[in-house]
Amino acid sequence: MTQIDTNAITMPVAPAWTEIRDAVARLCEDFPNAYWQKLDKEDAYPTEFVRALTESGFLGALIPEEFGGSGLPLAAAGAVLETIHAKGCNAAACHAQMYTMGTVLRHGSPEQKAQYLPKIASGELRLQAFGVTEPTTGSDTTQLKTRAEKTDRGSYIVNGQKVWTSRAFESDLMLLLARTTPADQCSKRSDGMSVFLVDMRDALGNGLELSKIDAMINHNTCEVFFDNLEIPADTLIGEEGKGFRYIVDSMNAERILIAYECIGDAKFFVEKACDYANERQVFGKPIGANQGIQFPIAKAYAEAQAAELMVTKAASMFDAGQKAAAEANMAKLLAADASWQAAETCMQVYGGFAFAREYGIERKWREARLYQTAPISKNMIFGYLGQHVLGLPRSY
C-alpha cells in the first residue's frame, strides 16, 4: 500500500489572533444590547462605539506602521470585525475606515499617502464614504453616469448622483468613482473611470449635498448629489481612466471583511439559540431536547463552520498577494447565507420572544438580512463565478 505523506496535504493552521479577539470582546462588553437598542430607536450613529474602536487602534489595523497603523494582515482585521458581530455589536458604522483607505495605500502618490494615511490611522480623519453605486445603474458599475470633467485649470468639475453611500454624514473624506472619459469613447466598458479622494468638509454646500435614506436598519446611509462640484487635480488617485481596477482591489478586501462579519453574526445566533434551547422549559424538559429545535441549530452551526473555511482561504490568499477575486466573492456568498440561516433558526427557536427588542435577536436578524443584498447581491456573485471562473457566456 502506498504511504501518503499527510504533512503534504495538511492545510496550515490560520492564526487565531486570540489576543486581538479577547481585547475586542472586552471592548464590546461596554456596549450591550441596550446601547444598540437606544441607537435604533433614535436612528443615531454609534459615536461612542466608533470612538472606542478608534482609540484602541483597531480601525487602523491595515495601515502600515510607517503611517501610524498596526500593519496587520487582512485576517487580523477580519478577527476584529468577526468578534464585534459575535458579541452582539455591529461594525457597519465604521468598517469602511479599515478597507477604503486601501485604494490610497496601493495606488496613491507618496504625497497623498503621507498626507492622509497617518490621520486616517489615528482617526483624525474619517474615510468611510465610498461613492460608487448610482440610482440607475446599481451594481453595474461600468455604466455609472457621474462625470468628472477636467478644466483648463487642471481641476475637475463633478456632476451626478450616488446612492446607498453609507456613513457619508460621519465621514470627512469620500472615495469617489466617476467617469472621466465618455463610455462611447472607450474600447472596454471598464475604461475611462477615475478615482478621486474628495474632502467633504470643503465640498458640503459648495456643490455637494447629502440626504439621509430612511431604511429598514440603522445604517446611516445617504444619497449624494454633485452639482458642479469643483475638486483639485491632486484629488485624483493613481492614473486617470484606471479607477475601475483600483476600486476592484478595495472591493475584494471589503467582501472578505464583510464575510468575517457574517461569520460573527452566525456565531452570535448559534450561541443565543443554544442558550435559549437549553434554558427554555416546555412540558418539563428543555426545548433543545426536541429534534425540531436541535437539528436546525446543528445545521446552522455546520454551515457556518464550512463558510468560515472559505473566508479563511480568501483572506490567506489576499494576504499572500494572490488573486482572490473568486474566493472573496464565494466567501461573502457562503458566509452571508450561513449567517442568514443561523438568524432564521434563532428566530424560530425563540418563537414569539424573538420579536421582543430586549433580546437583541430581531435587531441582529435585520442586520444579517442586509448581506443577502449588499455590498453585492447573490446573483451578481453567481454571474461572476459563471462567467469568470466557469467560462460560461455572459448572462443577460
**In tens digits, what is the pLDDT along the chain, a chain of 396 residues?**
334 343 333 344 567 899 999 999 999 999 999 999 999 999 999 999 999 999 999 999 999 999 999 999 999 999 999 999 999 999 999 999 999 999 999 999 999 999 999 999 999 999 999 999 999 876 677 889 999 999 999 999 999 999 999 999 999 999 999 999 998 899 888 899 999 999 999 999 999 999 999 999 888 899 999 999 999 999 999 999 999 999 887 899 999 999 999 999 999 999 999 999 999 999 999 999 999 999 999 999 999 999 999 999 999 999 999 999 999 999 999 999 999 999 999 999 999 999 999 999 999 999 999 999 999 999 999 999 999 999 999 876
3-state helix, strand, coil in the chain (%, to 5): 55, 15, 30
* H helix or E strand, kind and range, residue 194: strand 193-199
Torsion of CA 8, 12, 13, 15, to 10 degrees: 160
Burial class (CB in 10 A: 0-12, 13-18, 19+), 336: buried
Amino acid present at 86: A
Set of cell numbers at residue 330 = 464565494
Nearest in space to 302 (alpha carbons), one of 245, 247, 342, 349: 342
pLDDT for 305 equals: 98
- The whole-angstrom separation of Cα 95 and Cα 247 is 16
- The whole-angstrom separation of Cα 268 and Cα 343 is 9
- Return the number of other C-beta atoms located less than 10 Å from residue 14's C-beta: 17
pLDDT for 3 equals: 43
- The whole-angstrom separation of Cα 9 and Cα 336 is 29
385: which DSSP letter?
Answer: I
First to last CA, the chain: 52
**β-pairing verdict for 173-179 and 127-131:** parallel
pLDDT for 138 equals: 66
pLDDT in tens, 292-342: 999 999 999 999 999 999 999 999 999 999 999 999 999 999 999 999 999
* Cβ neighbours of residue 113 closer than 8 Å, sequence gap 6 or more: 67, 104, 105
pLDDT for 207 equals: 97
What 3-state DSSP class applies to 237? strand
Q: Tell me the HSE value of 160 on the side-chain side, using a 13 A CA sphere.
A: 24
| Under 8 Å between Cβ of 287 and 280 | yes
What 3-state DSSP class applies to 189? coil
Torsion of CA 368, 341, 252, 58, to 10 degrees: 50
The position carrying cell 481641476 is 155
pLDDT for 140 equals: 72
